[in-house]
Amino acid sequence: MNSKAQTGTAQILDGRKLAAEIRAELAAEVSELAATGLVPGLAVVLAGENPASVSYVTAKEKACAEAGIRSFPHHLPADTEQEELLRLIEKLNHDPDVHGILIQLPLPEGLDESALLRAVVPEKDVDGFHPVNIGKLVLGEEAFLPCTPHGVVTMLQQAGIATPGKHVVIVGRSNIVGKPLANLLMQKNLQADATVTICHTGTRDLAVHTRQADILIVAAGRPDTVTADMVREGAVVIDVGVNRVPDASRKSGYRLVGDVDYGALLPRVSHITPVPGGVGPMTIAMLLKNTVLAARRLAGGEQS
């Protein structure tokens, strides 16, 4: 699969195109499974009306429908009690039609995110957030991989960007992106084997570290965290951030930007992901891939 398009001096890593190719392959696989009586099913649990979360869930449900995956939406009010959510998760854990369970984050204030994520059985943890799956990831064992890190690694592989021996600098240490991505890229295999540095809010002189990166991955959650002078010429830049900034020219009143100064980096780097249209679509594609894999495993089928 080729996920690259040429623009200026940088190659744009087109996440939409690559994700569409992966989803088409998954749709064909789901169709074959359905012919045997196995239809992968994904339950999505959303509490509250966070606009970004509602948008993400809608996109995930649409992607499921296009791939032939059954979607089981559970949209609950923001004041839903912890015990009610735990009962729902327990029910889904035992539902044979549900192969994957996704709890949309962030959760409303007052809910124990950690306890709810742990309540999902590891076999249905298609987000890859359960401690069992995270532990297996760290040990290099087969596990459900967190969707965004998996999407980033897949983009690098499909673009022909080798990571063995490369210095990867990750800006951001979240449990969703930074930490699992670092563990994925430091594994001893041909798809990883990188030297990884993690930077965060406590890092002194961020630019000293980012300028050393062969591959710079930014997941800070803040626009313009990385500017052109902070990146080595010819580096690969993966922008995981999605931020809303005011834009009076748009009907919505805002536009989406990443965590790097995209326009300024274009003439300086070798490869870069756009926002939107970069890592985001890959996250959803990896969620669908995990759901199909979960269905196969729970049905006693192939393991990868």
Distance separating the N- and C-terminal Cα atoms of the chain: 19
Q: Which of 14, 125, 127, 261 is catalytic?
A: 127
Residue 5 burial by CB count (10 A; 0-12/13-18/19+): exposed, middle or buried? exposed
Q: Which of 17, 104, 125, 179 is catalytic?
A: 104
Cα–Cα distance for residue pair 92/1, rounded to 1 Å = 35
Task: Identify whether 127 is a catalytic site residue.
Answer: yes
Cα–Cα distance for residue pair 170/124, rounded to 1 Å = 28
**How many CB atoms within 10 Å of residue 158?**
18
Task: Identify whether 6 is a catalytic site residue.
Answer: no
Residue 69 burial by CB count (10 A; 0-12/13-18/19+): exposed, middle or buried? buried
**How many CB atoms within 10 Å of residue 276?**
15
Contact call for residues 238 and 217 (beta carbons, < 8 A): yes
Task: Identify whether 214 is a catalytic site residue.
Answer: no
Q: Which of 4, 17, 60, 179 is catalytic?
A: 60
Residue with tokens 């999902």, as numbered in its chain = 120
* CA-to-CA dists, residue 72 to 28, 45, 215, 295, angstroms: 21, 9, 38, 14
Q: Which of 294, 295, 251, 300 has its CA nearest to residue 128?
A: 294
Q: Is the peptide bond before 246 cis (omega within 30 degrees of 0)?
A: no
Residues identified as active-site: 60, 104, 127
